Amino acid sequence: MPRCDTTPACPAWYFSEYAPVGIDLGSKAAVAAYDRNQGTDPHNDDALLDRLGVTEGTQLVDLACGTGSLAVQAARRGAVAHGVDVSEEMLDFAKARADRFGVAPRWHHAGFLDYTHHGPLADVVTTKAALHQLPDFWKQQALLNAAAMLRPGGSFYLWDVIFSFEPSSARTHLQQWIDTAGRPEGEGFTKADFEVHVREEFSTYTWIVEGMLQRSGFDIVSHDFPCPTHAEFHCRRR
């Protein structure tokens, strides 16, 4: 599948989704460090797959799959799993993980915006810790694309850094998050990593994301805002 930004048909105003913003994930070492810092845990992936009813034969697409743990765990239970990411380094890491477990999810070097899903419509589409890579206009386009690959009644799951605090108290909440979540160098994501997130990436408010989900053709089945800076949405395709 050609990258949209390399085809003559791509308008000059199109977003460059192959140049992700924020912390550097552009090398093997950076990807391995990301996987450690993110605390990738197959048990957590399994718990989410259980909640979403993923079983043998489920068609699942994980958008911005990163190091691939969710797609690999889905494939291990017999789902037809697709992992999509703009980073070749991430996909290489994900493939190596899949090889270790003897499963073969289908990996796609593609983005939220230009991934075209072929074959049966998906039963479940997921995306974790990644939609914030897109500015809001492009988040909406990405959600429309996610809805287009999902069958009516199918599940869409979103987890990300999304803000549920009142805009007037943003400064306090953001500083609190950065101060409490930041770890010393070598022991996890640092304060500087979270500062980059706020400064250079595109996390937004829950009420904006809710509107975008509804306009994409999703009904919100449940949401959880476990802290003022993080949110999950479980949606059903209308």
Ligand X SMILES: C[S@@+](CC[C@H](N)C(=O)[O-])C[C@H]1O[C@@H](n2cnc3c(N)ncnc32)[C@H](O)[C@@H]1O
Binding site for ligand X (CB under 6 A): 17, 20, 25, 38, 64-66, 85-87, 90, 111-112, 128-130, 133
What's the closest the beta carbon of residue 104 comes to ligand X, in angstroms? 19
Q: What is the DSSP letter of 16?
A: -
9 or 19: whose CB is closer to ligand X?
A: 19
Q: Kind and range of the H or E element at 128?
A: strand 122-128
The amino acid that residue 142 corresponds to is: A
13 or 153: whose CB is closer to ligand X?
A: 13
What's the closest the beta carbon of residue 56 comes to ligand X, in angstroms? 23
45 or 123: whose CB is closer to ligand X?
A: 45
What's the closest the beta carbon of residue 76 comes to ligand X, in angstroms? 17
What's the closest the beta carbon of residue 9 comes to ligand X, in angstroms? 19
Distances in Å between the Cα of 167 and the Cα atoms of 4, 164, 170, 171, 232 are: 35, 9, 5, 9, 19
Burial of 92 (0-12, 13-18, 19+ CB in 10 A): middle
Q: Kind and range of the H or E element at 62?
A: strand 59-63
86 or 122: whose CB is closer to ligand X?
A: 86
